[in-house]
Amino acid sequence: MLFLWLYMFYSCAGSCAGLVARGSPAPPRAAPPGEPGEESSPEEQRAAPDASSPISSFFNGSGSKRLPQAIIIGVKKGGTRALLEFLRVHPDVRAVGAEPHFFDRNYERGLAWYRDLMPRTLEGQITMEKTPSYFVTREAPARISSMAKGTKLIVVVRDPVTRAISDYTQTLSKKPDIPTFESLTFKNRTTGLIDTSWSAIQIGIYAKHLENWLLYFPIGQILFVSGERLISDPAGELGRVQDFLGLKRIITDKHFYFNKTKGFPCLKKAEGSSKPHCLGKTKGRTHPDIDQEVVQRLRDFYRPFNMKFYQMTGQDFGWD
């Protein structure tokens, strides 16, 4: 009897599917990455087959939306966009393209809203997002921990002086009439007192921000990626990231080429494309000439914070 039932089941597999396709409405269209999808009711969720089952895969074919298991939390102008674009080449990584800003600006919208922004994933794939401002948002660590204590966090850091100049350059491109970098750096240039209230300076005090994260996450749950090495050795840094995420090392040297015009590595083939891909014109802007005395003052200012950051992370980033 069992053999007869199995025979009937497998014989029906193809024809029954066809009958369903002809006699029933088509399944809902899967929402593209970043596009809100329709939430099922609790009753439908209980009645639906397991998302990882072959039957579910047959009828759905696009997986389900999940809260992210890994988040790139910072830092602004450190290389977060490059890292995300490189990671999306991996077949087991699915990520939101735009920055959700959920844990800093949109938290009141709730986790259901946040999950709806996520791309659909299959069993075994990792859902990711990146919002660099999380690293400096005081409430973000507690909020992410409340969502899932096991969330893996990635921070892309860069020489804080270079990062500050890059941050200023971005603002200057949008607001050409802003004061000079030099005038914004100091509360009083005569005394050399640095204005730590200016966000371009404040973001680079990495040790201070990290202390807040370590109240909620163990250091081993946070990966620190060097923005400089992401340029000089992208495959090496991506190897570390893939290991951290528990992924097979699929992204290697063969995926990159160095674009001399832009001054940073580009992908030979982007996700879902057979063409080379470089980050847009908003990346790799030419920095304005900054008074070298001001640069040195900033290096002196950041040095003790950098040393503390090296001790906290167990990594020497070589910024001094």
Q: Which fold has domain 64-161+201-283?
A: Rossmann fold (3.40.50)
Q: Which residue has the tokens 């074919």?
A: 61
**pTM for the model:** 0.77
Q: State the helix-helix crossing angle for 292-313 and 206-213, rounded to 10 degrees.
A: 30
pLDDT tens sequence across 284-302: 567 789 999 999 999 999 9
- Mean predicted lDDT score pLDDT of the chain: 82
Give binding residues for 3'-phosphoadenylyl sulfate as ranges.
77-81, 158, 166, 283-287
- Is 248 a residue of the active site? no
Q: 90 or 40, which is more confident?
A: 90
Q: Give the strand pairing for 64-65 and 120-121.
A: antiparallel
Q: Quick check: 177 pLDDT over 70?
A: yes
Q: Note the Cα 187 to chain centre separation in Å.
A: 34
- Lowest-confidence region among 2-16, 83-97, 108-122: 2-16
Q: 276-281 long-range contacts, Cβ below 8 Å, gap at least 24?
A: 277/85, 279/81, 279/82, 279/85
Confidence of residue 188 (pLDDT cuts 50, 70, 90): confident
Given a contact cutoff of 8 angstroms between Cβ atoms, the answer to whether 286 and 276 are in contact is: no
pLDDT tens sequence across 64-105: 999 999 999 999 999 999 999 999 999 999 999 899 999 999
Q: Quick check: 278 pLDDT over 90?
A: no
What local confidence, expressed as pLDDT, does residue 1 receive? Answer: 44
What local confidence, expressed as pLDDT, does residue 264 receive? Answer: 72
Confidence of residue 268 (pLDDT cuts 50, 70, 90): confident
Percentages (nearest 5) of helix, strand, coil residues in the chain: 45, 15, 40
Ordered alpha helix ranges (H), 148-233: 160-174, 181-185, 199-202, 206-213, 227-232
Question: Which residue of the set 77, 187, 262, 308 is catalytic?
Answer: 77
| Domain spans of the chain, in order of start | 64-161+201-283
Tokens of 122: 């299959």
Confidence of residue 116 (pLDDT cuts 50, 70, 90): very high
